[in-house]
Amino acid sequence: MKADELAISIASIVPVAFILIIFGFLVFKAYPSMVYNGIKFFTSYVWNPGDISAEPIVVRGFKVSPGASFGILLFLTGTLITSAVALLLSLPASIFASIALALYLNERIRAVVSSALGLFAGIPSVIYGLWGVVFLEPTLYSRVEPEMRALLGFIPFFSGPIYSGSGILASSLVLALMVFPISTSIIYQSAVSLRDAAVNDALALGATKWEAGKLLRSMMRKQILGGGLLSLGRALGETMAVLMTCGGAINSMPTNFYSPINTMAAALTALLDSAFIDPTGMVLSSLAELGVTLLLISVASSMIGRAVLGRVALRGELE
């Protein structure tokens, strides 16, 4: 008996080992970049592999191409803006939809919407990207963005040149769409579990369904926060859909809402190519540092969200 317990214990350690190996290896690979780029890595938006055809020079003990300088400020900013806009759009929508589902709609519609959410969540990222490229971007470019500029142009961030359909707006919208099923699923479940406790009492006191819904919403603050954090964790890691709709900005910070942008996950994907032709390995090392940064932020967000929610998250994520 001891033997099988031993065997299973050893096998179960594997996930633990992998986490340590993943983190450890990436940090190990990122070390040269951490030394070479220093704090500039987080304060500069310039990403320059240097002159890769020239002889590598040695700086602080590491080989780099002359003129190499790596900074991820653009990617950090892009990630921040797109995630913020995506959450700003999808969280309120999730709350409204969840309360409407829990209070106003009947069993059958609830079942249909529930399944639909599941399907929604299963659509591959690259297909959201496809839709973004062929439908969303042209529509944004020809109709939405000019309208938006006309309406909101008095705010500096919403005026200025429109380069194309891709950029902050497109990638944020796609991200919002992708994050919506997750946050709705989590918030809806908590709405249903709290509903029976409070809503009947509220209705018996003469509340309208909306008034009972407001009460319900005030009871769900923790779950809404948790759902938001988990959605954020997912949004941070979203790669393909964002990659295809963000405009692939590099070395220039966004100037307005219609500017091209880049996120950490998308940039990591797009720039890994360039590491293959870099003789010094510093590009790869810098990308590894980018990966570590992304890893830490995503894990932090998801773990805090999970802690806030308790283990309710399990079901919601699998749907």
Partner 1 sequence: MKERSMTLRLAEDRLARAVGIGVISVLFSALLLIVYYVTSGALSHFSWDMLTTFGNTTSGGILNAIIGTWLLIGISTATSFPLGLVTAIYLSEYRGRLSGLIRLSIDVLASVPSMVLGLFGYLVYVIYLGMGFSLLAGGLTLSLMMVPYVARSSEIAFLNVPKELREAAYALGATKWQYVSRVLLRAAWPLVASGVVLSSSIAAGETAQLLYTAGWNTGLPSALTRSQVPYLTYVVWSGINQPSAYANGLAYVSAEVLIVTVFSLMVLSKVLERRGIAWKRS
Partner 2 sequence: METQLSSELNERIAVKIENLTVRTRNAGQPPILDRVSCEFYEHAINTVVGPSGSGKSTLLRAINRLNEINGLVTEGKIILDGEDVSHMNAIELRRKVGMVFQQPNPFPGSIFDNVAFGPRLHWKMTKRELNEVVKDALEQVGLYEEVKDKLTSSAMTLSGGQKQRLCIARAIAVRPSVLLMDEPTSSLDPKSKSVIEELMIKLKGEATIVLVTHDISQAKRVSDHVILLRNGRVESSEEADKALGYE
Judged by CB under 8 A, the stretch of 23-31, 39-47, 65-73, 149-157 that binds partner 1 is 23-31
- 49-57's contacts with Cβ under 8 Å and 24+ in sequence apart are 49/274, 49/278, 49/282, 49/283, 50/282, 52/277, 52/278, 52/279, 52/280, 56/279, 56/280
Cβ proximity to partner 1: between 223 and 286 the closer is 286
**CA 248 from chain center: how many Å?**
16
With CB under 8 A as the contact rule, the residue among 233, 247, 260, 316 that binds partner 1 is 233
271 sits near partner 1 (criterion: CB under 8 A): no
Give me 303's structure tokens: 């773990």
Residue 215, C-beta contacts closer than 8 angstroms, at least 6 positions apart: 198, 199, 202, 207
Query: In angstroms, what is the minimal distance from the CB of 201 to partner 1?
Result: 18
Query: In angstroms, what is the minimal distance from the CB of 201 to partner 2?
Result: 5
Query: In angstroms, what is the minimal distance from the CB of 198 to partner 2?
Result: 6
Give me 154's structure tokens: 């008095």
Place of tokens 């003469």: 206
Give dist(CA 125, CA 102) in Å, integer.
Answer: 29
Cβ proximity to partner 1: between 64 and 97 the closer is 97
54 sits near partner 1 (criterion: CB under 8 A): no
226 sits near partner 1 (criterion: CB under 8 A): no
288 sits near partner 1 (criterion: CB under 8 A): yes
With CB under 8 A as the contact rule, the residue among 122, 154, 161, 204 that binds partner 1 is 122
Q: Beta 47-48 vs 57-59: how paired, if at all?
A: unpaired
Judged by CB under 8 A, the stretch of 62-70, 111-119, 141-149, 189-197 that binds partner 1 is 111-119
Query: In angstroms, what is the minimal distance from the CB of 215 to partner 2?
Result: 7
Place of tokens 């519609």: 109
Q: Where would I find the beta strands (DSSP E) of the chain?
A: 47-48, 57-59, 62-64, 69-70
Positions that interact with partner 2 (CB under 8 A): 106-107, 197-198, 200-208, 211, 215, 218-219
